[in-house]
Amino acid sequence: MEKIIGLIDAPFTPFTADGDVNCEPIPAYAAMLAENGMKGVFINGSSGEGYMLTEEERILLAEKWITSVPAGFKVIVHVGSTCVRQSRTLAAHAQKIGAWGIGAMAPPFPKIGRIEELVKYCEEIASAAPDLPFYFYHIPAFNGAYLPMVDVLKAVDGRIPNFAGIKYTYESLYEYNQCRLYGGGRFDMLHGQDETILPSLAMGGAQGGIGGTTNYNGRELNGIIEAWKAGDIETAREKQNFSQDVINVICHYRGNIVAGKRIMKLIGLDLGPNRTPFRNMTDEEEAAMKRELEEIGFFERCNRF
């Protein structure tokens, strides 16, 4: 299977002021991401509030992204759900409309606590789109699936033919690297934490990644990879530290899904509010966040339209 090289963005889902899905901004959104160096999108995931979308909305968004991206731009569709039958429907639809790949995180309910439970979940979903690479999205802080990922790779190896790899969004760089090394690098280990791209590069991995802050800080995150490849370690360090400064700011305002989405408005693409149960930022919080971003020089370095 083809391994992803470069950064894939996890886009926000645009909503109207009254909370309906708004597909109108997606073509401009896709063009902006491509212009700023992204290689594709991973839609309807955590940044996209996927679990708060109806099946019909998820299908609508997948179709709109597929028809909006430039040539060669990868569209990976998150199809995870608390209902595996719904996930299979979404996976089959993604294959039908020409998505590049699919992915699924473990469901938040019921919590998965055993390797075989997770493997069976992935197997049933992946088999509904056998022609597409399937990625497991490891984000245990969201669903409590704190399972050893090397053991997951061992269990799926030879069992799920289209299992491509893992989007690894967890703090253990040791485990990430052990997964990368498994089977001589058989699986595609997509780095999923924008705050630790550089140390993952230093271990020899992180050829591909999926990020959330790439929505507005993609130029700097790509810059880390470019500086590393050029042997300019000091520039790579500066850009990684700056990217952590950006993350520190959004953590003051309920993280990427809430604060990051509001940053998109500040840089020129209003994607609307978040859905319940997320608590939207107030105008006062937006102004305070803008000041914090100005203090670190963010608007001189952020993504451009």
Q: Supply the pLDDT for residue 205.
A: 66
Q: Which residues pair with 138 in a beta bridge?
A: 168
List C-alpha distances in Å: 11 to 48, 65, 205: 6, 10, 24
Model pTM?
A: 0.97
Catalytic pick from 167, 176, 216, 239?
167
Active site residue 39: no
Least confident of 58-67, 70-79, 197-206, 285-294: 197-206
Q: Name all contacts of 279-287 with Cβ < 8 Å and 24+ positions apart.
A: 279/254, 281/253, 281/254, 285/253, 286/262
Residue 302's φ and ψ, nearest 5 degrees, are: -75, 175
- Check if the beta carbon of residue 69 is closer than 8 Å to that of residue 42: no
How far does Cα 148 stand from its chain's mean position? Answer: 21
**DSSP notation for 268-305:** T-----PPTTS-PPPHHHHHHHHHHHHHTTGGGTS---
Answer yes or no: 167 catalytic. Answer: yes
Question: CATH fold of 6-300, please?
Answer: TIM Barrel (3.20.20)
Q: What are the sequence ranges of the domains in the chain?
A: 6-300
pLDDT per residue as tens digits for the range 268-297: 999 999 999 999 999 999 999 999 999 999
Among residues 51, 121, 135, 137, the one annotated as catalytic is 137
Contact 216, 290 (CB under 8 A): no
